[in-house]
Structure 1
Amino acid sequence: MRVTSSMYYHSLYGTNNSKINNELFDVNKQIASGLKIQYAKDDVSTFTQTMRLDNEVTTLGQVKKSAESGYKVANQSDVVLNEFETSMNRMRTLLLQAANGASNDISQDAIAQELKGIKKNLKSLANTSINGQYLFSGSSVNVKPIDDNGIYHGNDKSMNAFLGSNNQEQYNLTGSELFLGEDHNTKREITSNIVNNNLIDGGVITTDNSIRDFMGDIDNDKNTVNKNYFYIRGTKSDGTSFKKKLELNDTAKVSDLLADIGKEYGNSGNLDLVNVTLNSNGEIVVQDKQHGSSKLDFHMVGAVDFDGTGKANVDDVDALNSGESDYNKVKDDNDGDINHLFVHEFITSGLKPAAGAADKIEGIVYDRTQFSKNGSKLSSNVTQVLKADNAFASPSTKISEVADLSKGNAGTLDGTVLNLSGKDISGNDYSYEIHLEKNDSADSTKNGSYFTPDGGTTKYHIYDMDPNGRKAVDADEMTYQQLMDTVNMAVTNNLPTSDTADEYDTAIQKSDVDGKTELSYDGKITFSDQTSSITKASIALYDKNSDNFTKDASVMTFNSNNALTISDPKTDFFKTIDEMIASVSDHTNYPDAKNANHRTIGIENAIKKMDDLQSHVSRMHSKVGAQSNTLNTSLERTQLLEVSTMTLRSSVIDTDVAEASLKLQQLTLNYQAMLSTVGKVSKLSLVNYL
């Protein structure tokens, strides 16, 4: 076959020209765009790697942004808590100054004023915001967390920064944790509030003194040994209640009384569950040795009958109301009050007793007391705490989750009767019994819980909300909401017109217009009168067996003349601050019911509360610090990963300009050489042709 010029031209120029032009186009495109490929078809492997790395860069960018945002909040919280702790250190210093024996009323008043100023600053810090969003409101960042009364209005929801797949970190500290948090390692400690002196020799009573020194002796005749009776009530750390009458002779020691009190809390020779001691004011202090419980409570009244007629030995403490709480009056045979029954109070709260309860000697009443009144609001003072986890009760909580089921019919609330009495919003007397009863289809006598006028026969059943058929609620299924609905109907005088579920619902709706019965943030029952700014209503709610010492202790307690709290696992930040300030304002080093404010904890106890509060805030500060460090570490790591990933991506997809430029030069030279060769061949062919 003859090779023609056409064939030679096509082989040398046509094929190479197309190839070199494509390569020149590609390399110019790489240099112009900075990318090795433009489309997946250019290089599937490179395209796949690039897409994967692009996704990683995007994810790292999101993590970086989230971590930066969270770090700002955590870091600002850290800064605020630094100021918190500085202010609290100053408060503790002032409390120590107030407790100093050289401090007089004038200096304590000045200290109280400075404490109020610090409290104001603490509230301001608590309401710190960034860009209009509050730091300590939980997820409700637009809600001001602390109001003027120190009440928290945020929620307990945490907010988390996204730090990668299945990796999140909380970056906020909720006010629920900071201001109302719980420290499970804290042990509850409570105290009586009446100063106990040696009635024989004077001075503050000690554990080595005799019961005779403690309770007195009108004739100073040591040969006549009087019998002393102590009626104690309270709650153990596991939530079970107790009620006991102790008998001690004059010759027993005060330490014997304290030991007997300890036994009622479960102390034994091998194990002590509580410490029962006297403080320097002769007041009884009970400290829980089990941590994490807010249930411990205590009440005691003592009685001695100096004429030997047995008036001090009673089954119902109401009978002690015929005695005298002023020992000097009992001792004076010429005052016309010669009953010789001395009733010794150990705790006085200032609460009014329920109708029908003893009202002369306030201290003998334990839980048959009226809710405190403040304007249109009535409030109980006993927190409803779940036995299982020490949490506050909520409206949906079953009463059986809080009540002491070891009493009455063991294991059930069936048969428990609560008394509800007082005045309704119109000022009229009311008195009801709330019967907690089983609803047993197999027993016609057990058809659910109900309430009835005291001494009456009309029954108003308390209905459940079962959509498959309404029936009276079983005792053990009854909730706080159902109990509060009953209270609300009684106090507003809106009762069902007949004993049906529909009329029951109608009565609840009507009563909700006139009043609101609710659980407060700290688990206490409250009633608000919707019809008046100063309510005429009153409420007393208590176990029917309350003060009868031949029967079981109260299954439940709602409002009581109980001991003062010194330490507790549950924190109530601004309420505690108020207690501290009140102690300094009242000029009291220890609780003293003789003061106008019976519930003042005293400066010494305020210092103890401050120690607990500082410990709690320090733990919260440590948590915030840990959050801040974690977020900062994550941010730094993410920044490094972002740089590393982008570098790797660049190596995969980005053009090496130097390499591409060199290739361009090589291709250009090749192309020029090809053109030169083609030109020479073309000329040779033309000469030959000529």
Structure 2
Amino acid sequence: MRITNQLMNFTNVYNYQKNSSTLYQSQQAFSSGLKIQHSYEGSAIYVDAARLEYEGNLLKQVETSTLKATEFSKNSDQALNDFVLKLTEFKTKLIQAANDIHDATSRNAIANDLEGIKQNLIDIANTTINGQYLFSGTALDTKPIDSLGNYHGNDQSIKAVIGPNQTSQYNIDGEALFLGSDNDYNKIITTNVNLINHYNKLEHPNDAVKYISVEDDLRDLIGENYRSEEYNKVDKMETGDFEKDKLVDQDTTFFLQGRKPDGTTFATKITMTPDSTIQGLLDNIGYALGNDKDNKNKLVEVTMNNSGQIEIKDIRNGNQMTELHLFGLTPQQSTEKYKVGNYEINIDPATSGNYKITTTKDADGNITEITAVGNNNQTYTINLNNTNQLQVNNQVVQNIGNPPFALDLNDLGNNGIDANDFTTFDPNDADQVREMSSTKVRDKDGSWVDVSELSDLATIEENVKNGKVYLTEFIKSGFEDTLGAKNNATDYNKLQFEQKDNILTGSVPQIIKGKNEFATDATKIKDVAGAGLQDNPDSNMTMHIKSKNGNYYEVKIQFTDIISAATPPATSLSITQVDQDGNPVNPPANPVYQGNIMLGKYNEATKTTDGVVTTADDISYKQINDIVAMVAAGNMPEDDISNGFNENMKKLFDTVNTIPLPPNIPNATTVKSELKANINDPEIHTIIDKAVDTAFNGAAAADVNILKNIKDIVINDPVYATGRFEAYNKAVDAASAGVNVELNYRGQMQITDKSQTVTGIEVTIFEEFSDDKPEFGKEANSSVEGSLFNFTANNMISIDEPSVDIFKDLDDMIAAVREGSYRGNPNGTDARTTGIQGALKRIDHIQDHVNKLHTQIGSFTNVLESSGTRANMMFVNIESVKSDIIGADLGETMLIYKQQLMQFEAMLQTSSMIGKISLLNYM
């Protein structure tokens, strides 16, 4: 091989560059303290170092965020600590108020102190740190509690990062704190009428009032009320009259309506003998609510407090479904009297059972006519003529004396109708009063029956007014009925929403069965209903609404349309204008609307919103709210096609659905013609024609099922349904500008009149009962399905329940102190107060609720502090590991540098020597 100068130069340059690079790397490692400067110098080292760098930065971030979060949680902890102290002070004041020594002045002073404490609590609830509210959820710039105690934040939690894919909450949102629920608490409800031992009052008239106890019996509860006031006036009941055989036929029937712990509704009648104990009544109430008679499946505890009030505790923790209304009816020994004008007529009980007696009344409730129909269909009509003379079957009774009169219906007209038929009745003659008295009552049809056979509240109320029964009251609420009168103890849920300024609110929360959560607008009403919406074809939701413009309307949602053969059957919606008493008026356009509840559904294929008829189980509270809003605002759907078609179909259906059948049963041509009457839309005509042809399918004449099928086909036709939805939705949109209807945070329906400071709107929502679905069973000791829904009800009052509403609860407590109500007080300013005793029970729950969250925020703080400490320690460890992986050993680096330097110098020296060699050195 021949070595040339060029090869030697190349080799020298290569060696120089290589050694220079190695020497440079050593110098860099020595000066920087790092093994490598670039990733290509050592990929394994670089990857490990980058990963450790990321983890170190993350831990630094965790340390920073936990520090800030810890400060937030510590401030929340301190605020809750102050909150608990103020609640303790509030309770102390309540205990002071519970003493009987206070007069109105001192009670007001305590109430003022409580108001001050409540304001302090609001201030604590609105605590801010660095401009952020502690208890507003994620709405950190929103003041959580206003001056009325309403919450305006949200229910969202704020979280800090405490590690890879790890977060920790560090706030308590106001919804959980101020409006939360405790699943370890029970619902406790109470009556508010103090039941008195009337027998003791009769026996010891000068003694202090003695309240009823569980050891007493019904005779003690009823006392002298087994006889009417008129009877007692002339023959006062004595203690010796309370023997069982002297109270024959005077059992007491208790009427119960409500909701069992499982959410199903019921209406039960319980008939008990006079010697039955009060404990027996409490047991029967428990059975009605679902307790097993063998005491193996106890769902509720029913007790009597020392103020003569019934208390019911739901055994299941966290359950808040239980609801109850009750009253008792005892037949009084009393006369059956009617007053027509100035003529008081007492019917002889010996013949009363042979006649059905009904009355006709004027607008003021005065009787204008008595109609008695005998078993032989003999009818007697007793009224006044134009000159106010008494007449029977339009024959004036001549030479009649002064009232009151006794009337034997069997003798009426035997020898002509004359004054001898109306004999004198002397209310001061004990023997005559006794002979004319009985314990029977009139039912809805006017039949002579026992109290236990009554089945509707209207007839019950009529017998109470007539003095035929003694009413044992348990609950009074102070609501107004549909006519605006203060409700009676017999009223249950046919009551108006409570009004305050421009807002109407239902008193009953809508609670989802099985979940015990408050319903929202999106909730399906079937999830709250006390039974299946279509289990009974007569089930409905009825509304009486006075609109903003002063008109009255009846709205009825029939969950099962009788003119529907679909599976499930269609529903129907009708809106009818009525007068103040609920009687239909007859303007040209009445009903105002007949059709269906509609919903819009987006059609992806056509990019349009199609109309859909909503089935019963798909109806949401939002849709119910929309109906209430458009009627209350006076914005009805302008839909002549829907009104016309449904009216025409109803006429046809009524014609075909008769026995015997009409002589001329309509055929397909006739049905088409009648269904299209007054509808001037060719497209709708085509839809009807096709539906009729499809439904008839060769049949010669219409029957009920054919008409049902026709209606189902028409209302579900996409073109027909979309047109109806557009008209329906237009009314809903127009109504929303003036009236807002929604379920509030406690599931209560709330109606806001946007254009008035004091609204004139009135709303009542209930279920209308019928002969096929009576309010109560027609037999004694019966139980039937109750009302599907309650929106406002004269039900037992809640002492405690799993959910809390702290500031509203405190307001109720303060009102009880100011009123001086120690327990429920139906005659106070707030008939539904539970009094100071109930307040003490509730304040204990509120304290426990806040303490739980106080403990929770403490645990959050501990987690954050430990996470921050751990992050700091881990950062140090990572830095140490990273130093081991990428850090250069200075001693080792120095030795390597020296070796490389020596090699470099040797390479230079060798290259120099080789460069000096020439051919002369070999010659």
Q: TM-score, normalization: structure 1?
A: 0.88
* Root mean square deviation, CA, Å: 3.3
- Corresponding position of 1:607: 840
Could you report, residue by residue, the CA deviation over 1:661-686 in whole angstroms, capped at 9, with x for unpaired residues? 56556766887899999999999x9x
- Corresponding position of 1:310: 440
> How far has the Cα of 1:67 moved from its partner?
2.8
Match of 1:519 among 735, 740, 743: 743
CA distance in 2, matches of 1:353, 1:37: 89
- 1:30, 1:36 within 8 Å by CA — same for their partners in 2? yes
CA distance in 1, matches of 2:55, 2:527: 51
- Corresponding position of 1:335: none
Q: 1:25 to 1:554 in 2, by over 3 A?
A: same
Match of 1:470 among 599, 606, 611: 611
- 2:497, 2:762 within 8 Å by CA — same for their partners in 1? yes
CA distance in 2, matches of 1:445, 1:394: 25
Match of 1:208 among 212, 215, 228: 215
Query: Which one-letter code corresponds to 2:492 in the other structure?
Result: Y
Q: 1:643 to 1:364 in 2, by over 3 A?
A: same
Q: 1:603 to 1:427 in 2, by over 3 A?
A: same
- Corresponding position of 1:333: none
Residue 496 in structure 1 maps to residue 637 in structure 2: yes
Query: Which one-letter code corresponds to 2:440 in the other structure?
Result: G
Could you report, residue by residue, the CA deviation over 1:200-225 in whole angstroms, capped at 9, with x for unpaired residues? 21411111111121122241321321
Q: 1:452 to 1:665 in 2, by over 3 A?
A: same
Q: 1:13 to 1:527 in 2, by over 3 A?
A: closer
Paired residue secondary structure (2:307): coil
Paired residue secondary structure (2:601): coil
- 1:414, 1:475 within 8 Å by CA — same for their partners in 2? no
Could you report, residue by residue, the CA deviation over 1:490-549 in whole angstroms, capped at 9, with x for unpaired residues? 222211121222211111122212211111111111111123211111111001129832
> How far has the Cα of 1:189 moved from its partner?
0.6
Match of 2:793 among 560, 568, 571: 560
CA distance in 1, matches of 2:276, 2:843: 37
- 1:545, 1:552 within 8 Å by CA — same for their partners in 2? no
CA distance in 2, matches of 1:482, 1:678: 98
CA distance in 2, matches of 1:23, 1:443: 91
Deviates more, 1:436-445 or 1:208-217: 436-445
- Corresponding position of 1:182: 181
Match of 1:345 among 473, 480, 505: 473
- 2:611, 2:726 within 8 Å by CA — same for their partners in 1? no
Match of 2:482 among 347, 354, 360: 354
Q: Where do 1:435-446 residues align within 5 Å?
A: 435-437=558-560, 442-443=565-566, 446=569
- Corresponding position of 1:630: 863
- Corresponding position of 1:577: 810
Paired residue secondary structure (2:308): coil
Unaligned ranges ≥5, structure 2 = 201-208, 226-236, 334-437, 442-450, 579-583, 585-589, 604-609, 643-723, 778-783
Match of 1:364 among 469, 472, 490: 490
Q: Where do 1:59-458 residues align within 5 Å?
A: 59-201=58-200, 202-218=209-225, 219-220=237-238, 221-223=241-243, 224-225=246-247, 226-268=250-292, 269=294, 270-307=296-333, 308-311=438-441, 312-313=451-452, 314-322=454-462, 339=467, 341-355=469-483, 359=485, 362-405=488-531, 409-410=534-535, 415-437=538-560, 442-443=565-566, 446-453=569-576
Query: Which one-letter code corresponds to 2:560 in the other structure?
Result: E
Query: Which one-letter code corresponds to 1:419 in the other structure?
Result: T
Larger radius of gyration: 2
Query: Which one-letter code corresponds to 1:434 in the other structure?
Result: I
Q: 1:302 to 1:662 in 2, by over 3 A?
A: same
Deviates more, 1:366-375 or 1:206-215: 206-215
- Corresponding position of 1:548: 775
Deviates more, 1:672-681 or 1:79-88: 672-681
Could you report, residue by residue, the CA deviation over 1:66-102 in whole angstroms, capped at 9, with x for unpaired residues? 3333333222222221112111122222222222344
CA distance in 2, matches of 1:529, 1:18: 90
- 1:376, 1:530 within 8 Å by CA — same for their partners in 2? yes
Could you report, residue by residue, the CA deviation over 1:96-153 in whole angstroms, capped at 9, with x for unpaired residues? 2222344444433222222212211111221222322222222222222212221112
- 1:237, 1:294 within 8 Å by CA — same for their partners in 2? yes
CA distance in 2, matches of 1:515, 1:15: 92
- 1:67, 1:635 within 8 Å by CA — same for their partners in 2? yes
Q: 1:422 to 1:212 in 2, by over 3 A?
A: farther
Q: 1:154 to 1:414 in 2, by over 3 A?
A: farther
Q: 1:23 to 1:570 in 2, by over 3 A?
A: same
Q: 1:540 to 1:231 in 2, by over 3 A?
A: same
- 1:347, 1:563 within 8 Å by CA — same for their partners in 2? yes
Query: Which one-letter code corresponds to 2:623 in the other structure?
Result: Q
Query: Which one-letter code corresponds to 1:368 in the other structure?
Result: K
- 1:354, 1:422 within 8 Å by CA — same for their partners in 2? no
- 1:449, 1:474 within 8 Å by CA — same for their partners in 2? no
Unaligned ranges ≥5, structure 1 = 326-337
Residue 487 in structure 1 maps to residue 628 in structure 2: yes
Query: Which one-letter code corresponds to 1:110 in the other structure?
Result: A
Paired residue secondary structure (1:217): helix
Q: 1:110 to 1:2 in 2, by over 3 A?
A: same
- Corresponding position of 1:334: none
Q: 1:387 to 1:191 in 2, by over 3 A?
A: same
Query: Which one-letter code corresponds to 1:481 in the other structure?
Result: K
Deviates more, 1:184-193 or 1:488-497: 488-497
Q: TM-score, normalization: structure 2?
A: 0.67
- 1:580, 1:603 within 8 Å by CA — same for their partners in 2? yes
Q: 1:229 to 1:155 in 2, by over 3 A?
A: same
Query: Which one-letter code corresponds to 1:392 in the other structure?
Result: F
- Corresponding position of 1:460: 595
Could you report, residue by residue, the CA deviation over 1:395-453 in whole angstroms, capped at 9, with x for unpaired residues? 121110110125x753xx75421221142112232223221236998549944331232
CA distance in 2, matches of 1:114, 1:200: 43
- 2:559, 2:570 within 8 Å by CA — same for their partners in 1? no
> How far has the Cα of 1:43 moved from its partner?
2.5
Paired residue secondary structure (1:216): helix
- 2:481, 2:487 within 8 Å by CA — same for their partners in 1? no
